[in-house]
A and B are shown apart, each in its own frame.
Chain A
Amino acid sequence: MNENRTKRILEIIPGFLSWSIIIFLILLFIIKPLAAIIVIIIYLIYWICRLLYSSLLLLMTNQRILSKKNYDWLVLCKRLNSDLKFENIIHVVLYTTYKETKELLAGSLNFLKETNYPKDKIIVVLAGEERAADSYARLEALKKEYKDYFLDVIITIHPKNIEGEIPTKGANATFSAKQVKVHLEEKGYDLKNIIISCFDADTCPDKSYFSCLTYNFLNNKKRYQMSFQPLPVYSNNIYSAPAFARVIEVGSTFWQLIEGMRFEKFITFSSHSMSFDTLVKVDYWPVDLISDDSLIFWKCFLKYNGDYKTFPLDIPVYMDIAVGRNFLDTIAVQYRQKRRWAWGVENFTFVAQHFLKNKDIPLFLKIRKLYQILDGHISWATWAIIISFITPLVLFLGKIILKNSLALFNLTYINGVVFHSLTFILMLCVIISWEFTPPRPKNVSRFIYLSFLFQWLLTPLISAALGSTPSLDAQTRLMFGKYLSFNTTPKQRKKDEG
């Protein structure tokens, strides 16, 4: 079959499945209301099991992170008996930036400066865009300010309109990494000893991040078939972001915490690290797709015929909560950001297309991985619609159509159990979220903690409004071939934050 045709069919599948589930439930209720009630009961039981399972994973990951909180990773690195020498390891920290302010980047570099890893082993790369007029001047000013703190500070400017590229973070990072490779080879570094961390402009690593990363890199024999994923904690501007944006982003952090426990399913997301040598071997990040952060994992997975993993680092990197100019703009910004994340559904097309060509990956593994991608995205696009809209609608109309149905009565009861389970998870979230809350700036009233507590009451509203719609939007666009353009998320911090 024609490759383009296969691609289009694969692009249609996720959206088609999500819409089919939603339409099927509605039609089934119209044609056979009792059957629809039974299907929803089964779906809700599945959700209760999934929620409780996820909350246990959340607790386990939290426990795992807490147990390693006081590790002196640097000492562990130095003591470690590995085939690679700690002294030879060099870190390339690549910040991709577009229009972010100099102050925001300086904030991130200050964090990097404060890490406990030897700075003479860190090369900072500031990857700017030609599309942003003042890129060079902005980055040059930063280089002047920070070059003495690190082994080197390199500036790369990604030219606009390169053929075969779309304007994405991945294209910028790839261009930059290629330039850095030339630089490293000129300096005589062995790429096998280089770890590259691809950070967003607002990524602020924990002070032990590079020590922890280095330890796990040295300690893993399959280090070149492994990406390293920190826990993204959206908290840099937590004291100035609106409550609903905080809830959404803390939710994203928790989702990563849960994912971090599902080792075999774990893939890279947002800021991540990996061997520079592997990056070169897989021909860098994709330059014509938006979800570069997860696609780099799949490129590696395909390169190594399925023998590639993402290692969860039990250490956070702190990032900004996406906020807009005002309340409504923040809703729009959050929606667009979640839709961009949901655009990760393009991974399905990418992976399936390559699986068709690859004969070395076992069929079972291929099916499992494709199911994993589909399950994640279809669940995302449908759960909130089923729980927040279809189930209440069935309960409401069912009382008119099936007045005395015992099944309908029990559906009300099971629906109540779902909400109790959600409340239980919310309480867990409230407790665990304190662990990741940065210290309160002096100019912020302590009463903000009340807002931090009561913000969770917004969860049902947020789930209904923003739970599934960005994902369903992304899948529908992909289904109709209306490709999403990469939009950078605005980052805004107050002076004392981050």
Chain B
Amino acid sequence: MQDSIYLILRKIFFWFFLLAFLILTPIIVYYSLGYKFDAMAKKFLKTGAISIKTFPKGINVYLDGKKIKETTPCTIRELLPKEYNLTLEKEGFYPYEMKVEVKPSQIQDIDIFIVPRMVDITKLKMDLHIYKFFVAKHLFGETIIVFTDKGIYFLDGDFKGARKVSSQIFEENIANSIENLKENNGRFLFWNKNNLWMLDSSQVNDKDEKYPGAMLIYKAEDEIKDVFFGFRGKYIVIHDGLKVIALDAENLKVSFPLYELKSVRSKIFYDSRSETIYIQDKVQGTNGFSLFRAEIIPLINERILNERK
């Protein structure tokens, strides 16, 4: 190709891009601001837009009952300012309906989680009669603890793995009365109003099919309201009626009365990370409640320091 042809080509490209810039710029700017030319009315109308994101993607969009070509995520532009009925639909999901107010030169951002219909959901393959279950979360996921007619089982969150941990069979009414379950280093505590049991999963021997029983470690004097692992996991802190008791998890014969509560409506919380106990209790001489706290480690240090002094 001769140099003159390159020169001509360059000039053509230059003018093409210059014209493109001059023509496209006002169109894009007007479009960006939401202006739309109405050929019928022969005037510019100010419009708005709706931007729709969903989880999952690919949901059908209906605006005032009319299906939009695109599925989510999508942006519906050039909408005249008014209220629209927006429906998001897909087979296997609950349809999501909402009203959207479109304003001129504005975009309404919509971000929706589309809820699936609960049909054909996964059933546990094992033939067990489940009385009660709890979910214990840990670093690598969650373990489902199930009380069954054949003993206590641990299941993986996805049901793929199952492990028997106790042959002890709780009667259905007792299993149903269990209020909560807590775990620490393979030790599981579960309780109802009257009893507190502990199950040590490290004692399980799958090879020899030896399964420990759940040990009844505490009988309520009044009513068990809450239980925590505390004091670096060495003790079990029990809220029983008006008493707060610390029970040695290794040596169940050792226990200490930690605190005397003033009301049956009082509550406690033991934060095992900061080793702090929070107590909501009645204030002496009043009918009102306040919040108390005791940080265990600083308390120990303070006592040691006082002793030295």
Q: B residues within 8 A CB of A67?
A: 1
Is the beta-carbon distance between B32 and A38 smaller than 8 angstroms?
yes
A189 interface contact, C-beta 8 A: no
| A67 and B106 alpha carbons, distance in the complex (Å) | 53
B108 interface contact, C-beta 8 A: yes
Write the A26-66 contact mask toward B (1 if CB under 8 angstroms, else 0): 00000000000010011001100110110011001001100
B151 interface contact, C-beta 8 A: no
Q: Using known A-B contacts A57-B10, A60-B10, A64-B1, determine if residue A41 contacts B17 with beta carbons closer than 8 Å.
A: no
Q: Using known A-B contacts A64-B6, A404-B108, A407-B105, determine if residue A41 contacts B28 with beta carbons closer than 8 Å.
A: yes
CB distance from A93 to the nearest CB of B (A): 26
8 Å CB contact of B32 from A49, A64, A410? A410
A409 interface contact, C-beta 8 A: yes
CB distance from A376 to the nearest CB of B (A): 16
Q: A residues within 8 A CB of B48?
A: 406
Is the beta-carbon distance between B17 and A53 smaller than 8 angstroms?
yes
B29 interface contact, C-beta 8 A: yes
Q: A residues within 8 A CB of B1?
A: 63-64, 67
A160 interface contact, C-beta 8 A: no
Measured CB to CB, the nearest residue on chain A to B22 is A49
The binding surface of chain B is classed by DSSP as helix
B33 interface contact, C-beta 8 A: yes
Q: B residues within 8 A CB of A38?
A: 29, 32-33
Is the beta-carbon distance between B9 and A406 smaller than 8 angstroms?
no
Q: A residues within 8 A CB of B106?
A: 404-406
A411 interface contact, C-beta 8 A: yes
A263 interface contact, C-beta 8 A: yes
B20 interface contact, C-beta 8 A: yes
Measured CB to CB, the nearest residue on chain A to B7 is A263
Measured CB to CB, the nearest residue on chain A to B26 is A42
| A67 and B5 alpha carbons, distance in the complex (Å) | 13
Is the beta-carbon distance between B17 and A52 smaller than 8 angstroms?
yes
Q: A residues within 8 A CB of B10?
A: 57, 60, 261-263
Is the beta-carbon distance between A404 and B17 smaller than 8 angstroms?
no
Q: Using known A-B contacts A52-B17, A60-B9, A261-B6, determine if residue A45 contacts B24 with beta carbons closer than 8 Å.
A: yes
| A64 and B25 alpha carbons, distance in the complex (Å) | 32
Is the beta-carbon distance between B21 and A405 smaller than 8 angstroms?
no
Is the beta-carbon distance between B13 and A405 smaller than 8 angstroms?
no
| A52 and B20 alpha carbons, distance in the complex (Å) | 11
Is the beta-carbon distance between A409 and B28 smaller than 8 angstroms?
no
B34 interface contact, C-beta 8 A: yes
CB distance from A406 to the nearest CB of B (A): 5
Q: Using known A-B contacts A42-B29, A63-B1, A407-B33, determine if residue A49 contacts B7 with beta carbons closer than 8 Å.
A: no
Q: B residues within 8 A CB of A142?
A: none
Residues of chain B at interface, number, CB under 8 A: 30
Q: Which of B1-54 contact A (CB under 8 A)?
A: 1, 3, 6-7, 9-10, 13-14, 17-18, 20-21, 24-25, 28-29, 31-34, 48-49, 51
Q: B residues within 8 A CB of A429?
A: none
B86 interface contact, C-beta 8 A: no
Q: B residues within 8 A CB of A263?
A: 7, 10
Is the beta-carbon distance between A410 and B31 smaller than 8 angstroms?
yes
| A407 and B18 alpha carbons, distance in the complex (Å) | 23
B109 interface contact, C-beta 8 A: yes
B219 interface contact, C-beta 8 A: no
| A404 and B109 alpha carbons, distance in the complex (Å) | 7
| A42 and B13 alpha carbons, distance in the complex (Å) | 20
| A50 and B25 alpha carbons, distance in the complex (Å) | 13
Measured CB to CB, the nearest residue on chain A to B47 is A406
Q: Using known A-B contacts A42-B25, A45-B24, A67-B1, determine if residue A405 contacts B105 with beta carbons closer than 8 Å.
A: yes
B155 interface contact, C-beta 8 A: no
Is the beta-carbon distance between B49 and A406 smaller than 8 angstroms?
yes
Is the beta-carbon distance between A407 and B32 smaller than 8 angstroms?
yes
Interface centre among A38, A50, A56, by most chain B C-beta atoms within 10 angstroms, is A56
B220 interface contact, C-beta 8 A: no
| A42 and B26 alpha carbons, distance in the complex (Å) | 9
Is the beta-carbon distance between A406 and B107 smaller than 8 angstroms?
yes
CB distance from A193 to the nearest CB of B (A): 25
CB distance from B175 to the nearest CB of A (A): 52
Q: B residues within 8 A CB of A411?
A: 32
A414 interface contact, C-beta 8 A: yes
Q: B residues within 8 A CB of A41?
A: 28-29, 32
Measured CB to CB, the nearest residue on chain B to A399 is B109
Write the A404-422 contact mask toward B (1 if CB under 8 angstroms, else 0): 1111011100100000000
Q: A residues within 8 A CB of B28?
A: 41, 45, 410, 414
Extra contacts, 8 of them, besides A53-B17, A57-B10, A405-B106 (Cβ < 8 A), are A64-B1, A261-B6, A263-B7, A404-B106, A404-B107, A405-B105, A407-B34, A410-B28
Q: Hey, which bits of chain A sit against chain B, CB under 8 A?
A: 38, 41-42, 45-46, 49-50, 52-53, 56-57, 60, 63-64, 67, 261-263, 404-407, 409-411, 414
A–B Cβ pairs within 8 angstroms, 7 of them? A42-B25, A56-B13, A406-B49, A409-B49, A409-B51, A410-B31, A410-B32
